[in-house]
Amino acid sequence: MERVDLRRFFAPRSIAVIGASQDFTRITGKPLYYLRKHGYTGRLYPVNPRYSSIDGLPCYSTIAEVPDEIDLALIAVNFRMVPQVLRECSDKGVRFATIFSSGFAETGEEGKRIQKEIAEIAREGGIRVCGPNCQGAVDLHNNTAAAFSAALDVYPLIKGSVGFATQSGAMGFSIFNLAQSQGIGFSYIVSTGNEMDLTCVDFMQFMLDDPNTSVICAYLEGIRDGKAFVELAERAQDVGKPIVVLKTGKSDVGSRAASSHTAALTGSDDVFDALCRQKGIIRVSDIDELIDVTRIITSFATPPSGRGLGIISTSGGGGVLCADIADELGLKVPEFEKEGLEKIKSSIPAFGSARNPVDMTAQVINTAEGFRNVLQAVVDDPGVDALVVVITMIVGTSATKMALDLARIKKTTHKPIAVVWTAGESLIREQLEILKEASVPYYSCPSRALRSLARYLQFGNYLKNRSRTPSVIELRRHIGFSSEKYRSGVLSEHGSKEVLSRFEIPVTREICTDSVERAVDFAREIGYPVALKIDSPDILHKTEAGLIRLNIRSEEELVRSFRDLLGIAKSKYPQARINGVLVQEMVSPGVEVMVGVKRDPQFGPTVVFGLGGIFVEVLKDVTMRVAPVDEAEALKMIREIRGYPILEGVRGSAKSDVKALAGIISRVSYMALALPNLSELDINPVIVFPEGSGAKAVDALMIFD
């Protein structure tokens, strides 16, 4: 995937503002106003035939007249004039343009047509475009506020290491403003609108290489190029930068609205969610969660790992509440080691509790060293990976001392510490200022603090345990297959299994024949009992159609059933293509699961796994990944379904061969990549035998585009 060099987009040496207005309260007036307000140091050229100057700057009739090279053109004219303006930019040799104007693909047919036209102009002229229908971009470290959002009314903006790409300008700048008001510093914010050319993924790719950016946030409504997004996610792991994504369109109503609102095509949200799990992307579900998680990440540069939470509270109740929430988030509240426990005991009143969660009681403030010692002991405990400190209604000088103790210890440890200070801000302004200054994140309720810690720990655990996904080329060498296109349509059970076999996926021993003699010979060869099934690409529900006979125990039964089945099939389905009768081994008992493939329009083939029968049908107990998945990832899939204990063995039944099952899931994912026109695969059931005895595809169905 091409990576765009966006340095001159974010930090242009010169900017032309086309359609600039003298009225700084209007969208057309704001970009110039904000650029100057936030100290843009490059050369600025307003362009508008109606003015000769704006706010002391000479104003030009057209961009052609501007006596300078232009790195970035900001375009704020009526959408019908955009093609003309963009042509003039092209003639001028402009490198980047941000089109604020709306009225394009997000509206209707005329808009779509004009958007197509300007895309063509831009491509020919070599202009890379942000927008249209966007609110612009800000490079905080370069003081370049090339945007019109009211979020830029705030001065000064807080510089920092958060890079933020957003498809929705309104939501994005809102989040930016809320985060800034909570003291979070940014490197960039860019809103991409209709993404006619440059997409959020392009900007995020740039930020991955950018030294000013340590964490990348995105607000997404849809993803156009799933492959580019996957590549981005993988590269983010390599460079170790967390990606935090708020993506809307989870629900049906939500995605209906998304497609009418921007021109984004909302992909299947389940696939996106699976991808996040698979690639270590931190997916959040609301604005505050995005801000909270980002604050933890920017406050503690080294991703933590593990799941041990140390809880310290000035009130027993606060500690218990944290323990409850930690439990729900999958964090552990470990017992402390003996040494630390003793240290804590000697630092708190007798009626407190030294065990995790520590109840220091409010009286800990009566000694000079109490809180500091407890804090140090908990930080030092080897089982503690992150800390939460709950301070209730403690105010005044004691509170200030606690804040200073927190600020001090923050400097000496990599372990993330979140503070929950449950008092109204007016009572603890000074103390919160100390925490802010020291980058100790604070919250007024436990769940926000713990959710953020949990998400960061999850990310750290992911980084620690991740396995490199093998490249497709490696896979091909490994598996020894070549890409192959099948004729479109349905493959019968037997045909599907022939394909599976070529990818080393074990299937039942079987032949497809229209000769009863061959059937008898084969049954004798593999031994009774056997199963008979009609094999036809046109009859998908063989059981319901009565075209399966199981547990055939003798030659006579086989001959009779063979003729019966053919007779029924021909009379019931006179139009169906009948390949013959499948003569199939009866497999020994095991656990029924299903493995499938679906092709997602954005992310390509995905592999789906679940327990068979009612688990899939009633409980929808399935999980998915974007192909390919290696065996380690496949094992994670197997373990994350709710019914997993059944594979582990319940009520004294044997443990199933999950390793063999993981191998099948993984090979299915490789196969899905190797068959470019495979649109659907259903292996249902795969029977998983007891440990050491493998697993086998018993029925299968493939559909090609």
Strand partners, 470: none
What's the Cα-to-Cα distance from 493 to each of 415, 504, 617, 665, rounded to whole Å? 55, 16, 21, 18
Burial call 643-665: b when 16+ CB within 10 Å, e when fewer: beebbeeeeeeeebbbebbbbbb
**Smaller CB separation from a second copy, 380 or 621:** 621
**Smaller CB separation from a second copy, 396 or 480:** 396
Q: Where are the alpha helices (DSSP H) in 130-220?
A: 169-181, 200-209
Q: Give ∠ CA 97-185-204 in degrees, rounded to 5.
A: 45
**Smaller CB separation from a second copy, 446 or 596:** 446
CB of 447 to a second copy, least distance (A): 4
CB of 312 to a second copy, least distance (A): 12
**Smaller CB separation from a second copy, 158 or 490:** 158
**DSSP classification of residue 103:** -
CB of 554 to a second copy, least distance (A): 24
**Smaller CB separation from a second copy, 91 or 617:** 617
Q: Using alpha carbons only, how large is the chain's radius of gyration in Å?
A: 31
**Smaller CB separation from a second copy, 239 or 650:** 650
**Smaller CB separation from a second copy, 125 or 643:** 643
Q: Tokens 């765009």, residue?
A: 4
CB of 486 to a second copy, least distance (A): 30
CB of 106 to a second copy, least distance (A): 6
Query: Does 470 sit behind a cis peptide bond, omega within 30 degrees of 0 on the bond before it?
Result: no
CB of 30 to a second copy, least distance (A): 12
What's the Cα-to-Cα distance from 336 to each of 222, 383, 398, 403, 639, rounded to whole Å? 46, 7, 26, 24, 29
What is the maximum span of the chain, computed from C-alpha positions, in angstroms? 102
Rounded distance, CA 166 to CA 178, Å? 15
CB of 429 to a second copy, least distance (A): 12
Rounded distance, CA 570 to CA 552, Å? 21
**Smaller CB separation from a second copy, 133 or 508:** 133
CB of 667 to a second copy, least distance (A): 27
**Smaller CB separation from a second copy, 194 or 347:** 194
**Smaller CB separation from a second copy, 321 or 512:** 321
Q: Give ∠ CA 638-640-646 in degrees, rounded to 5.
A: 65
Q: How far apart are the first and last CA of the chain?
A: 26
CB of 460 to a second copy, least distance (A): 22
Rounded distance, CA 298 to CA 316, Å? 30
State which H helix or E strand residue 532 sits in.
Answer: strand 530-535
Rounded distance, CA 665 to CA 661, Å? 6
**Smaller CB separation from a second copy, 362 or 463:** 362
CB of 488 to a second copy, least distance (A): 30
Residue 216 burial (CB count, 10 A)? 29
CB of 243 to a second copy, least distance (A): 19
AA letter at 598: K
CB of 23 to a second copy, least distance (A): 14
**Smaller CB separation from a second copy, 350 or 368:** 350
**Smaller CB separation from a second copy, 25 or 575:** 25
For 453-501, what is the HEC assignment? HHHHHHHHHHHHHCCCCCCHHHHHHHHCCCCCCCCCEEECHHHHHHHHH
**Smaller CB separation from a second copy, 512 or 591:** 591
Question: Are the beta carbons of 420 and 390 closer than 8 angstroms?
Answer: yes
Question: Are the beta carbons of 13 and 144 closer than 8 angstroms?
Answer: no
Question: Residue 19's closest CA among 66, 72, 82, 64?
Answer: 82
3-state secondary structure of 682: strand
Q: Which two tokens stand for residue 19?
A: 């359609």
**Smaller CB separation from a second copy, 206 or 219:** 219
Question: Are the beta carbons of 30 and 148 closer than 8 angstroms?
Answer: yes
Rounded distance, CA 151 to CA 235, Å? 31
Q: Which two tokens stand for residue 320?
A: 């218990």
- In DSSP notation, 381-443 reads -TT-SEEEEEE-S--HHHHHHHHHHHHHHHHH--S-EEEEE-S-GGGSHHHHHHHHHTT--EE
CB of 605 to a second copy, least distance (A): 26
3-state secondary structure of 211: coil
CB of 252 to a second copy, least distance (A): 7
CB of 534 to a second copy, least distance (A): 20
CB of 317 to a second copy, least distance (A): 3
**Smaller CB separation from a second copy, 51 or 644:** 644
